[in-house]
Amino acid sequence: MDDARRVFLDLDKYNRLLQRLSADAYARPTRPPVLTLTLAATGRRIGEVLSLRARDVDFEKSAATWRIEKKMRGDYYVTLPIPRRLTDVMQKYVTWNAVSDLLFPVSRTQAYYDVKKTLKQYGLVAWRPHDLRHAFILKALLETRSIELVRRYTQHASYSELLEYAMIVGLELDKPPFEI
């Protein structure tokens, strides 16, 4: 991350966002909160979420097939599990909004605006949509303790590329990695 764009990714705020946003998006399944929740709960890139179609989500198995960006070949797809709560929100969103094709049929600019506005509503004013990917990866690394699992889930080409996401300002060494 460049020095001018360092953001303190507070995982407590990220966890609160996931909890509040999933409840709010389920209660009122409109595009901005569902789009933001999808980014936050999956760690996908904004373009990958914008290319998601209703037929790409398996509501029974709680999985989604994503078109992956940043791969050398043009059409690269991977099916990955998604959180059950997100599946429920998506299913309600598809039903309530009569979605038959693209889940979020908007431009990248509009999607960016929707997510920024939603993040601001939840008190994350300095966060960008891509910061949700950073927070997801950091949380996944801390919770799974498996670099390979997180690398495969996020579809990074290398460990070094993935670990750049873990270099976050504000994660200070205030306690040892484990106690004896």
pLDDT value for 1:
45
The answer to the question of residue 84 being in a domain is yes
Residue 178 falls inside a structural domain: no
Which residues, 6 or more positions from 60, have their beta carbon under 8 angstroms from its beta carbon? none
- What DSSP string runs through 143-180? HH--HHHHHHHHT-S-HHHHHGGG--TT----S-SS--
In which residue are the tokens 């980014």 written? Answer: 39
* Residue 89, domain extent: 3-166
Q: Is residue 152 part of a domain?
A: yes
Percentage of the chain surpassing pLDDT 70?
A: 82
pLDDT tens digits, 62-100: 999 988 877 566 678 888 899 999 999 999 999 999 999
- 67 inside domain: yes
- Determine the Cα–Cα distance for residues 33 and 102; give it in Å rounded to an integer: 16
Determine which helix (DSSP H) or strand (DSSP E) holds 141, and give its type and residue range: helix 129-144
CATH of the domain at 147: 1.10.443.10
Read off the DSSP letter of residue 28.
S
Q: Is residue 177 part of a domain?
A: no
Model's pTM, two decimal places? 0.85
Structural domain count, the chain:
1
- Tell me the pLDDT tens digit for each residue of 147-177: 777 787 777 667 677 677 666 544 454 555 5
Q: According to the model, what pLDDT value does residue 4 have?
A: 44
- pLDDT tens figures, 43-57: 999 999 999 999 999
Residue 180 belongs to some domain of the structure: no
